[in-house]
């Protein structure tokens, strides 16, 4: 589904992601974990084309995305939920979701917001006329996910989705992501530090340290203590 090979990303002369290789399977939730400053957000931004790749290749469904711009990667099937959510504060909930529709293909914008998005996030249906900036952090996160899903992705990328969100909403987001995988057949890549959330949703956990993948575990063989050791300061 999504593969990254010999992948390096740098800020100027400072290489943040170093010769990284990873592959995400169909219908799989992969969590990329690590402490702050280890390269998680850099990786996510580079995958969606917000940062240039110094070396290597990214493919989605066999298509080479390496030279494509962000909007072209979205059209190819990458959906992105950025750290901090970045909803449009003066647009309504409905208008925020509609900003993702043009990437879903010809005619999608004219059809409007699909009802199944509101079924995933009932609170958004109740608040479709409310401005995005007036929502709580948890509601904004649900809105950001709905906006990304409106683009019609085959792979959904989420950067630190639990940041600044209360525990009850974190649990709700965990349930929704598993439902998205099961019902929509999406693959999901999540960068995260909250271990309880990771262990709840992930089929596979990858640990990133100083821009390199240093450890991997699969569901059924999770060693919580060992993963936690990579997250401790």
Q: Name 124's Cβ contacts closer than 8 Å, sequence gap at least 6.
A: 93, 97, 117, 118, 139, 142, 143, 146
**∠ CA 72-75-78, rounded to 5°:** 95
- The beta-carbon contacts of 69-72 under 8 Å, at least 24 apart in sequence, are 71/103
| Mean pLDDT in residue range 104-115 | 64
| Mean pLDDT in residue range 85-106 | 86
Q: Which residue has the tokens 């649900």?
A: 142
Query: What digits encode the pLDDT tens for the residues 192-205?
Result: 988 999 999 999 99
Q: Output the pLDDT for position 139.
A: 93
Query: What digits encode the pLDDT tens for the residues 33-51?
Result: 988 888 899 999 999 999 8
3-state SS class at 57: strand
Q: Output the pLDDT for position 100.
A: 85
pLDDT band at 28 (very low <50, low <70, confident <90, very high): very high
Higher pLDDT, 173 or 14: 173
Spatial separation of the C-alpha atoms in residues 205 and 229, rounded to whole Å = 14
**∠ CA 28-88-76, rounded to 5°:** 40
Q: Output the pLDDT for position 41.
A: 92
Q: Structure tokens of 166? A: 């209360």
- How long is the chain? 233
Mean pLDDT (the chain) is: 90
End-to-end CA distance of the chain: 34
**∠ CA 192-49-9, rounded to 5°:** 70
pLDDT band at 9 (very low <50, low <70, confident <90, very high): very high
Chain CA centroid to CA 56, Å: 21
Q: Output the pLDDT for position 35.
A: 85
Query: Is a pLDDT exceeding 60 seen at residue 129?
Result: yes
| Mean pLDDT in residue range 178-202 | 93
Spatial separation of the C-alpha atoms in residues 200 and 228, rounded to whole Å = 14
Q: Output the pLDDT for position 190.
A: 96
Q: Name 197's Cβ contacts closer than 8 Å, sequence gap at least 6.
A: 162, 170, 174
Element (H, E) at 202: none
pLDDT band at 85 (very low <50, low <70, confident <90, very high): confident
Spatial separation of the C-alpha atoms in residues 162 and 74, rounded to whole Å = 23
Say which CATH architecture domain 2-231 belongs to.
3-Layer(aba) Sandwich (3.40)
Q: Structure tokens of 180? A: 């998205």
Contact 192, 34 (CB under 8 A): no
Spatial separation of the C-alpha atoms in residues 9 and 13, rounded to whole Å = 10
pLDDT band at 177 (very low <50, low <70, confident <90, very high): very high
Q: Output the pLDDT for position 105.
A: 63
């Amino acid at each position: 589904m999504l593969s990254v090979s010999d992948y390096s990303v740098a800020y100027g002369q400072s290489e943040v992601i170093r010769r990284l290789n990873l592959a995400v399977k169909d219908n799989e939730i992969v969590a990329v974990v690590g402490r702050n400053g280890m390269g998680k957000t850099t990786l996510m931004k580079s995958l969606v084309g917000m940062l240039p790749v110094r070396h290597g290749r990214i493919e989605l469904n066999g298509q080479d995305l390496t030279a494509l711009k962000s909007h072209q990667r979205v059209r190819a099937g990458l959906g992105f939920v950025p750290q901090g959510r970045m909803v449009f504060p003066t647009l309504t909930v409905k208008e925020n979701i509609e900003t993702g529709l043009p990437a879903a293909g010809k005619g999608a914008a004219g059809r409007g917001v699909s009802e199944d998005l509101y079924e995933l996030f009932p609170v958004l249906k109740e608040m479709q006329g409310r401005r995005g900036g007036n929502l709580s952090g948890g509601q904004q996160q649900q809105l950001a996910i709905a906006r990304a899903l409106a683009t019609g992705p085959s792979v959904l990328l989420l950067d630190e989705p639990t940041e600044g969100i209360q525990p009850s909403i974190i649990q709700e987001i965990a349930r929704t992501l598993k439902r998205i995988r099961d019902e929509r057949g999406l693959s999901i890549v999540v960068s995260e530090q909250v271990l309880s959330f990771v262990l709840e949703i992930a089929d596979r956990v990858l640990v990133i340290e100083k821009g390199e993948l240093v450890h991997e575990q699969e569901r059924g063989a999770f060693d919580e203590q060992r993963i936690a050791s990579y997250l401790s300061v």
